[in-house]
Chain A
Amino acid sequence: MEIYLAQLLNGLVYGMLLFLTAAGLSLIFGLMNVVSLAHGSFFMLGAYIALSVTRQTQNFWLALVLAPVVTVGIGLLMERLFMRPLYRRGHLDQVLLTFGFTFVFFDAVRSFWGSDIRKLAAPDALQGSIEIAGGMFSTYRLFLLALGAGLALILWLVMERSRLGAMVRAGVDDSAMAAGLGANIPALFSGVFGAGVALAALGGVAAGPVLGLYPGMDGDILIPSFIVIVIGGMGSLRGAFVGSLLVGVADAFGKAYVPALSMFLIYLLMAFFLLVRPQGLFGIKGGVAPAGMVVAVGAPFNRPQLARRLAWLALVVLAVFPLFVPDYHRTLVSEIFVFAIFAMSLDLILGYTGLPSFGHAAFFGLGAYVVIVLGSLFGLNGWLGLAVAIPVTAMAAAIIGFFCVRTSGITFLMLTLAFSQLLYSIAFKWRDVTGGSDGIGIASRPSFLGWSLDDPLALYYMTFFFFILSYLGLRRLIASPLGHSLVGIRENESRMRAIGYATGEYKLLAFTIGGTLAGFSGGLYALFNGFVSPEALHWSASGDVLIMAMLGGAGTLVGPVIGAAVFLLMKNLVSSWNDHWMMIIGAVFIACVMFFPGGIWGMLRDRVARVRS
Chain B
Amino acid sequence: MSVLRLDNLCRSFGSLVVTHNVNLTIAAGERHVVIGPNGAGKTSLINQMGGQLQPSAGRVLLDEVDITGWAPERILHAGIARTFQKNNLFFNLSVLENLRLAVQARRASGFSVLRPAAARVDILARAREVLVQVRMDADADRLVRNLSYGEQRQLEVGMALAGDPTVLLLDEPTSGMSPAETVGMIDLVRSLPSSLSIVMIEHDMNVVFSLADRITVLYYGEVLATGVPAQIQANARVREIYLGASH
Q: Which residues of B contact A484 (CB under 8 A)?
A: 97, 100-101, 104, 117
Interface size class of A (residues with CB under 8 A): 20 to 34
The main secondary structure of chain A at its interface with chain B is: helix
A265-307 CB mask vs B (1 if < 8 Å, else 0) is: 0000000000000000000000000000000011000000000
Chain A residues near B118: list those with CB within 8 A. Answer: 479
| Residues B110 and A476 in contact, CB atoms below 8 Å apart | no
Q: Look across to chain B and name the residue whose beta carbon is closest to the beta carbon of A485.
A: B110
Contact check, B162 vs A495: say whether CB atoms are below 8 A apart: no
Contacts of B115 in A (CB 8 A): 480-481
CB <8 Å contact, B88 and A481: no
Binds A, one of B9-17, B72-80, B195-203: B72-80
Residues of chain B within 8 A (CB-CB) of A487 are: 93
Contact, CB under 8 Å: A495 / B113:
no
B120: contacting residue among A481, A496, A509, CB under 8 A: A481
Q: Evaluate contact between B113 and A476: CB separation under 8 angstroms.
A: yes
Is A498 interfacial (CB 8 A cutoff)? yes
CB pair B116 A492 closer than 8 Å: no
Contacts of B72 in A (CB 8 A): 494, 497-498
Q: Does B239 contact A (CB under 8 A)?
A: no
Q: How far apart are the CA atoms of A485 and B109 in the complex, in Å?
A: 10
Point out the residues of chain B lying under 8 angstroms from A497, CB to CB.
51, 71-73
Nearest A residue to B77 via CB reads: A500
Most buried by B among A483, A494, A496, A500: A500
Residues of chain B within 8 A of A492, CB atoms compared: 88-91
A499 near B159: Cβ-Cβ < 8 Å: yes
Interface 1/0s, chain B 109-137, versus A by CB < 8 A? 11111111110100100000000000000
**Is there a chain A Cβ closer than 8 Å to B106's Cβ?**
yes
Q: Which residues of B contact A506 (CB under 8 A)?
A: 110-111
Flag whether B102 is at the interface (Cβ < 8 A). yes
Contact B77 A479 (CB under 8 A): no
A491 x B116 contact (CB < 8 A): no
Q: Which B39-91 residues sit within 8 Å CB-CB of chain A? A: 50-52, 71-74, 76-77, 81-82, 84, 88-91
Residue A74 at the chain B interface, CB threshold 8 Å: no
Contact B52 A481 (CB under 8 A): no
Distance A499 CA – B118 CA, assembled complex (angstroms):
19
Do B92 and A491 touch across chains, with their CB atoms under 8 A apart?
A: yes
* Contact (Cβ within 8 A) A491 B91: yes
Instruction: Say whether A502 faces chain B, with CB atoms less than 8 Å apart.
Output: yes
Q: Are A482 and B73 in contact (CB under 8 A)?
A: no
Distance A297 CA – B116 CA, assembled complex (angstroms): 20
Q: How far is the CA of A482 from the CA of B109 in the complex (A)?
A: 8
Residues of B within 8 A of A501 (CB): 73, 105, 110
Tell me if B163 counts as interface (CB < 8 A to partner A): yes
Q: Which one, B88, B105, B120, contacts A494 given CB within 8 A?
A: B88
- Which residues of the other chain, B, contact A485 by a CB distance below 8 angstroms? 101, 104, 110-111
Establish whether residues B116 and A480, one from each chain, have CB atoms under 8 Å apart when the complex forms: yes
Contact assessment for A495 and B106 in the assembled complex, using a CB-CB cutoff below 8 Å:
no
Number of A-B contacts (CB under 8 A): 99
Chain A residues with Cβ under 8 A from B114's Cβ?
A: 480
Name the distance in Å between B200's Cβ and chain A's nearest Cβ.
16
A215: which B residues are within 8 A, CB to CB? none
A506 and B101 CA atoms in complex are apart in Å by: 14
B residues less than 8 Å from A481 (CB atoms):
104, 109-113, 115, 117, 120, 123
Contact across chains for B112 and A482 when beta carbons are under 8 A apart: yes
A352 to chain B, nearest CB (A): 13
Cα(A479)–Cα(B114), bound, Å: 10
Contact A479 B117 (CB under 8 A): yes
**Complex interface: chain B residues within 8 A of A488 (CB):** 90, 93, 101
In the complex, what residues of A have CB within 8 A of residue B112's CB?
480-482
Q: A482-B111, A494-B88 are in contact. Are A499 and B102 (CB under 8 A)?
A: yes
Query: Nearest A residue to B110 by beta-carbon distance?
Result: A485
B112 to chain A, nearest CB (A): 5
**Residue ID in chain A nearest B156 by CB atoms:** A495
Complex alpha-carbon distance, A485 and B117, angstroms = 10
A503 at the interface (CB under 8 A from B): yes
Interface 1/0s, chain B 136-176, versus A by CB < 8 A? 00000000000000000000000100110000000000000
C-alpha spacing A388/B84, complex, angstroms: 48
Q: Is A477 an interface residue (CB 8 A)?
A: yes
Contacts of A498 in B (CB 8 A): 50, 52, 72-73, 76, 81-82, 84, 88, 159
CB proximity of A553 to chain B, nearest CB, Å: 15
- Docked pose: A297 CA to B93 CA in angstroms: 9
Question: For A502, what are the chain B residues with a Cβ–Cβ distance below 8 Å?
Answer: 71, 73-74
What residues of B have a CB within 8 angstroms of the CB of A503 in the complex?
73
Query: Bound state CA distance, A498 and B161, in angstroms?
Result: 12
Q: How far is the CA of A478 from the CA of B9 in the complex (A)?
A: 43
Give B100's nearest chain A residue, CB to CB: A484
Tell me which residues from 229 to 248 in chain A have a Cβ below 8 Å from any Cβ of chain B. Answer: none
Q: How far apart are the CA atoms of A292 and B225 in the complex, in Å? A: 43
**Residues in B neighbouring A495, C-beta threshold 8 A:** 84, 88-90, 159
User: Which single residue of chain B is at the shortest CB-CB distance from A487?
Assistant: B93
- CA–CA, A483 to B104, complex, Å? 12
Q: In the complex, which residues of chain A have a beta carbon less than 8 angstroms from the beta carbon of B76?
A: 498-500
Residues of A within 8 A of B81 (CB): 498-499
> Within A442-469, which residues are at the interface with B (CB < 8 Å)?
none
By a CB distance below 8 angstroms, the chain A residues around B111 are 481-482, 485, 506, 509
Which of B109, B111, B159, B162 counts the most A-chain CB atoms under 10 A from its CB? B111
Contacts of A499 in B (CB 8 A): 76, 81, 101-102, 105, 159, 162-163
Q: Which residue of B lies closest to A488 (CB)?
A: B101
Which residues of B lie under 8 Å from residue A509 when comparing CB positions?
111
Contact check, B110 vs A482: say whether CB atoms are below 8 A apart.
Answer: yes
CA distance A500 to B82 in the complex (A): 11
A488 to B117, CA, bound (A): 13
Chain A residue numbers with a CB within 8 Å of B113 are: 476-477, 480-483
For residue B109, which residues in chain A have a CB less than 8 angstroms away from its CB? 481
A487 to B102, CA, bound (A): 13
B72, B77, B100, most chain A CB atoms within 10 A: B72
Can you report 27 residue pairs joining A to B where beta carbons are below 8 Å apart? A479-B116, A480-B113, A480-B115, A480-B116, A481-B113, A481-B115, A481-B117, A481-B123, A482-B110, A482-B112, A484-B97, A484-B117, A487-B93, A488-B93, A492-B88, A492-B91, A495-B90, A497-B51, A497-B72, A498-B50, A498-B72, A498-B159, A500-B77, A500-B163, A501-B105, A502-B71, A506-B110
Residues of A within 8 A of B (CB): 297-298, 476-477, 479-485, 487-488, 491-492, 494-503, 506, 509
A480-B117, A499-B105, A500-B76 known; 4 other A-B pairs, CB under 8 Å? A480-B112, A491-B91, A495-B84, A495-B89
